[in-house]
Amino acid sequence: MSARTHAGHVVDQFGAQATAYVTSAVHAAGADLDRIGALVRGLPGARVLDLGCGGGHVAFAAAAAGAAVTAYDLSAEMLAAVSAEAGRRGLDRIETRQGAAEALPFPDAAFDAVLTRYSAHHWRDVPAALAGARRVLKPAGLLVVCDIVAPEEPLLDTHLQAVELLRDPSHVRDYRVSEWRAMLAATGFAPGEATAYRPRMEFSSWIARMRTPEVQVAAIRALQATAPVEVTEHFSIEADGSFLLDSVLIEARPH
């Protein structure tokens, strides 16, 4: 039985794989990342917080768009990898800070934008993190949330959470879009435009990034093999286990 806290699981899972997330093709590019860069270019001279920065791809995009960026993450190893990659790219306006998404060590109204991508499904308390983001945003600031989302239908939702947790013990929940809108509204945001994406997860690299044990890989494949047709069709599950996920980018403003 594990004696680690949830934070310990997150650090264990991602610290050892920091370089893999910096180089991950799924994380390093995409229309959602292009949209984030475009939004930051519309905020000249912005100070930006990349909340749960992971491999740093949002931080890199925001810095390239002209922002001064604070990359914030629970994993010291991940932050070191981000700093090293920023240096290789010649991006000298990225600083790193370590900490949990639910406990932001920044003054009120410190940032013009708070951006988070593919991170929130690991947070233990998303409403607390959103409340913190609201506090550190300027009154006219911008919040951008991009994450994997669960379908609204329980059958599909349950399958997704099961395979995510088998792959990665630090997984908490892929929230439904309706849940995201409710959490944003409850923490002082007016959710605006939402854009949907369907990234493809190539199975072998998807499990390799998390060093998923073989017994759990076998369990995922068993779930896929026995899934009802509604599940296999929605996620477009392929013979090798590769599949499509649902993700969404939501733009929100304080109200």
- Mapping DSSP to helix (H, G, I), strand (E, B) and coil, where does residue 190 land? strand
Quote the CA–CA distance of 203 and 237 in Å, as a whole number. 10
Q: Could you confirm whether domain 6-151+172-199+246-254 is CATH 3.40.50.11740?
A: no
Exposed (0-12), middle (13-18) or buried (19+): which is 110, by Cβ within 10 Å? Answer: middle
Would you state the pLDDT for residue 22?
53
**Per residue of the chain (255 residues), what is the pLDDT tens digit?**
666 675 665 666 554 555 655 555 555 558 999 999 999 999 999 999 999 999 999 999 999 999 999 999 999 999 999 999 999 999 999 999 999 999 999 999 999 999 999 999 999 999 999 999 999 999 999 999 999 999 999 999 999 999 999 999 999 999 999 999 999 999 999 999 899 999 999 999 999 989 999 999 999 999 999 999 999 999 999 999 999 999 999 999 998
Q: What are phi and psi of 244, to 5 degrees?
A: -100, 140
Which residues lie closer than 8 Å to 157 by C-beta, 6 or more apart?
150, 151, 174, 176
Model pLDDT, residue 53 = 95
Domain segments of the chain: what residues?
6-151+172-199+246-254
Q: What is the pLDDT of residue 5?
A: 76
Q: What is the pLDDT of residue 145?
A: 98
Sheet with 189-197, edge to edge strand ranges: 94-98, 68-73, 47-51, 111-117, 137-148, 247-254, 189-197
Per-residue pLDDT at 20: 57
Count of residues making up the chain: 255
Quickly count: other Cβ atoms within 10 Å of residue 76's Cβ.
Answer: 13
Whole-number Å distance between alpha carbons of 237 and 244: 7
In single-letter form, the type of residue at position 137 comes to L
pTM of the model: 0.89
